[in-house]
Structure 1
Amino acid sequence: MLSVFRKLFSKQKVEETQEELMKKFLVAGLGNIGPKYHNTRHNIGFRVLDSLAKEESLSFETKKLGDLTTYKHKGRTILLLKPNTYMNLSGKAIRYWLEKEKVPLENLLVITDDINLPFGTIRLKTKGSAGGHNGLKDIEAQLNTSKYSRFRFGVGDKFNKGRQVDYVLGEWNDDEERTMPERIEKGVALIKSFATAGIANTMNTFNGK
């Protein structure tokens, strides 16, 4: 009788642990560290997470491979990560924290800039190609899959041929900065929805908005 009880208790504990893990999320904003990159288009991932942290009075702490803070929201635990590996090695930090915190792959959200979308356009996808983005290339290589959710923030493509790098590493213009607060507010709401309402509902609510 005692052995049966132990088996039932053990099974219940496993089920509880799995349920707890499904309520844990990792949101990684891509960017480059250092003051000179702070206000660049390539750093929109950092900027969205910084805005969420400020709104919720959270403080980032420098840990292994990145700056990290934890956000509790409606029964969910959301880890916010800003990799300090520079953009081209973003995947290393993401893989480390996914494994360390045992976050399910379907609960990973990566925030990145996208030159193929008009400025301020928000698009959430469950998979896709790297599209020439070095940060996404490294994530795909480190995770050995392209099937992870990514929140693409449009930065536009107003650059001459061969000047793409200068453009994404350039700072926002005055018109973009005037519109930015409302766009970032949408991005913060998207993160909260991703963790609570699910990917499908969040895509329906925010894509193209």
Structure 2
Amino acid sequence: MKLLVGLGNPGAQYERTRHNVGFRVIDALAEKLGVRWERRGRAMIANATLEHEKVVLVKPITFMNNSGEAVGELQRWFKLEPEDILVVYDELDLPVGQLRVRARGSAGGHNGMKSLIQYLHTDQFPRLRVGIGRPANRRLDTINYVLGIPPKDEYITLLQTEDKALEAFSLILREGLDQAMNTLNVDPEAQRKAEEKRRLKQEREAARQQQATIGEKQAEDSSSPRA
């Protein structure tokens, strides 16, 4: 069994904010699987099956900075190991629209993750990070940024990325964490440059072969007997 945890803040005023990416992903997964939420301790949970694995979807209702209190209670209740807890949350250090999977690691300044590490007594649990980027205006306070509602174009990009996160959950459960990291942790810009480099190499090789063919034809013509 796995806990699939989305981090966010409860309340309608937070629903569309950058900081509630985790809640939105888990809500979308619950809707896709057709399951209902119920309260358990300091979290909302929903029981489901995904990729033939029993999973419990989790939304802590302790507010972001105390997320670990709720998750720690559920870990003890279900008697799970840290590696059985997969957390999805917003990441400032990733551009908007990028996903990254990690098997473990520090909180990286994210208060919700700090709380989880504190109450789980380890940072050895997997996480799915959804990029929200950093504010273009460096004078904008980080708290106001993450608790802000992004403009329309950015919000659409976030929603598209959240859809990809649903596929990532399935991939992780189906193929395992290592394979999921190999598949998902690809830098789109680096991939684009690699594809461009590969295309140019193919074009140069085609041009070289064409030139060689022309040279061979000219050699044949010059060596042919003339009347």
Structure 1 length normalisation: TM-score? 0.85
Q: Contact (CA 8 Å) 1:78, 1:195: kept in 2 or not?
A: no
3-state SS of paired residue (1:79)? strand
Q: Deviations over 1:6-63 (max 9, x none)?
A: xxxxxxxxxxxxxxxxxx0001100001111111000000000111111121211122
Question: Given the alignment of the two structures, is residue 142 of structure 1 paired with residue 119 of structure 2, yes or no?
Answer: yes
Q: Contact (CA 8 Å) 1:28, 1:110: kept in 2 or not?
A: yes
Does 63-72 or 159-168 show the bigger shift?
A: 159-168
The one-letter code sitting in structure 1 at the alignment partner of 2:67 is: S
CA distance in 2, matches of 1:181, 1:118: 14
- 88, 104, 120: which one aligns with 2:97: 120
Structure with the higher helix share, 1 or 2: 2
User: Any unmatched runs of 5+ in structure 1?
Assistant: 1-23
The one-letter code sitting in structure 2 at the alignment partner of 1:172 is: P
1:21 paired residue number: none
Matches within 5 A, 1:44-63: 44-63=21-40
Residue 86 (structure 1) shift: 0.5
The alignment covers a number of residue pairs equal to: 186
2:131 paired residue number: 154
1:90 paired residue number: 67
Q: Deviations over 1:120-154 (max 9, x none)?
A: 11001011111111111111111111111111110
Matches within 5 A, 1:1-150: 24-150=1-127
Does 80-89 or 98-107 show the bigger shift?
A: 98-107
* Higher RCO (CA 8 Å, separation ≥ 6 residues): 1
Structure 2 length normalisation: TM-score? 0.78
1:147/1:64 Cα in 2 relative to 1: closer, same or farther (>3 Å)? same
- 170, 175, 178: which one aligns with 2:153: 175
The one-letter code sitting in structure 2 at the alignment partner of 1:201 is: Q
CA distance in 2, matches of 1:143, 1:180: 29
Residue 162 (structure 1) shift: 5.4
1:189 paired residue number: 167
Q: Percent identity?
A: 35
CA distance in 2, matches of 1:124, 1:90: 20
3-state SS of paired residue (1:119)? coil
3-state SS of paired residue (1:202)? helix
Aligned Cα RMSD in Å?
1.4
Find the structure with the greater CA-based Rg.
2
3-state SS of paired residue (2:123)? coil
Q: Contact (CA 8 Å) 1:119, 1:156: kept in 2 or not?
A: yes
CA distance in 1, matches of 2:156, 2:88: 21
Q: Contact (CA 8 Å) 2:22, 2:89: kept in 1 or not?
A: yes
3-state SS of paired residue (2:70)? helix
Residue 73 (structure 1) shift: 2.2
Residue 104 (structure 1) shift: 2.4
